[in-house]
Structure 1
Amino acid sequence: MVSDWKSLSVGDRVEIIKHAHVVAAGEVEEVSQSGNVLWLVPAGPAEKQLFLKSDGVQVRRG
């Protein structure tokens, strides 16, 4: 798991994990300067998604 979201780079392939289940997967579009917010471009035909560390999600490099 990636504990410091600021270590992620644009284009990194990641999975978003919540309660031990993969809830999203795709490429990092942007990470906030605080490292608490991540924008993900999903692998499928969907809009980009916003994830907050405070929502209890974890990031795993895919």
Structure 2
Amino acid sequence: MRLADLLAEFPEAAEELSAWAERTRAALPAAEQSWVQTNIAGRDVYAIGQGTQNFYGDRPDD
């Protein structure tokens, strides 16, 4: 969220930020260059790592 806020305020930084992220990822050991996040809850889950967040039931802003 904070990086999205940064890019919203400074869209000209997108290319530099993307290059930094790629350099950082490439510097990690192979086993740490990708990851999976699993969220399990009884009713609601409001967490997201990558992809799309879907809401079921009452939305948190309702």
TM-score, with normalisation over the residues of structure 1? 0.19
TM-score, with normalisation over the residues of structure 2? 0.19
Query: Which protein is bigger by CA-based radius of gyration?
Result: 2
- Which structure ranks higher in relative contact order (CA pairs < 8 Å, sequence separation ≥ 6)? 1
Higher helix share: 2
Higher strand share: 1
